Amino acid sequence: MSKFIDSIIGHAIGDAMGVPTEFCIREYLLKNPVKEMIGSYKTGQPAGSWSDDTSMEIATIDSFIQNKEFNYHDIMHKWEEWINEAKYTANNDTFDVGRTCLRAIRNHSLGTEPLKCGIDGEQSNGNGSLMRILPVALYSYYRKLDVNEIIKLTNELSSLTHQHDISKLGCYIYVRYIMFLLDGKNKNEAYELIKTLDYSTYDEYAISKYERILKNDIASYTIDNILSTGYVVDTLECALWILLNANSYKETIIATTNIGNDTDTIGAIAGSMAGIIYGYDSIPTSWIDKLMRKDYLIGLANDFEKEVMNYEV
């Protein structure tokens, strides 16, 4: 399988595994771990249903396939279709929509320009742009974008919903980590490399929020010092902590599924990275068999790869 399929399916599986355990208490899950793909009694979703993480990501991908570029108006329009018509959902049911994303999408529907739709307050630094930014990493790597182009594209895609530097920087760290993995670096090498990058285009306050990732060794923290909330910094820390301490795709996703709180997004982020590292064939077949609209997702990943790789300047 290609790295496009590895990462996109890895993302969707992690998302779907985490839907039933989202907002559950960590201590309970650690004593009663979920190890198979099950339905969610809280949302009424059957086993294998992905959430907003994957819906917004694949809407972005579908827009790129149709436009052969990241067309911000069209991406916002497709997110409107997701909200209003349940397009890009697993089960024809839109659920679990983040408040910041919803506000931004509504801004666009009222006529606001795409890059002005996102919310820029510090209290609006949930993980809603991080969870859907994977296509930027794939595009940036295979199109060989330079550093300034990567930063610009990442910032703009984040700003469609999340304009604050904390969110944009979290997306950029993740994008660059993915790119190092795509370049053949192992997970530890990639982690050391993101510590060496120049982040000076982001404000110092935002950079300080990622000190545990960029200045320390996030993998060395104990589980009691790892938060699994929807705050973008916590989500990225948790996903990296799990990834760096796990030894397989399965182990990574069982850990994200049972870490408590925002398990679907943490699963999606860690799953995309683990998918690249371990590959599609490492994902348990019992999980793949239950993933809803699997063939559609694989087809979309293939079409996205073709458009990215065949792009002519």
Q: What is the pLDDT of residues 7-55, one digit of tens each?
A: 999 999 999 999 999 999 999 999 999 999 999 988 889 999 999 999 9
What's residue 96's pLDDT? 80
| Predicted local confidence at residue 41, as pLDDT | 87
Distance CA 92, CA 101 (A): 19
Q: Is 222 exposed, middle or buried (0-12, 13-18, 19+ CB in 10 A)?
A: exposed
Q: Is residue 125 part of a domain?
A: no
Domain assignment present for residue 254? The answer is yes
Looking at the domain assignment, is residue 186 inside a domain?
yes
Type of residue numbered 67: N
Domains contained in the chain, number: 1
Residue 294 placed within a domain: yes
For residue 238, the model assigns a pLDDT of 98
Question: How far, in Å, CA of 61 to CA of 131, rounded?
Answer: 13
Q: Is 124 within a domain?
A: no
Domain with 211 in it:
3-119+131-309
pLDDT of residue 313: 43
For residue 126, tell me if it sits in a domain.
no
Quick: pLDDT tens for 72-91.
999 999 999 999 999 999 99
Q: Does 288 reside within a domain? A: yes
Q: Could you give the CA distance from residue 293 to residue 274 in angstroms, rounded to a whole number?
A: 21
CA dist., res. 135 & res. 75, Å (int): 12
CATH of the domain at 172: 1.10.4080.10
d(CA 105, CA 268): 22
Low-confidence spans in the chain with pLDDT less than 70: 1, 311-313
Cβ proximity of 133 and 171 under 8 Å: yes
- The answer as to whether 278 is a domain residue is yes
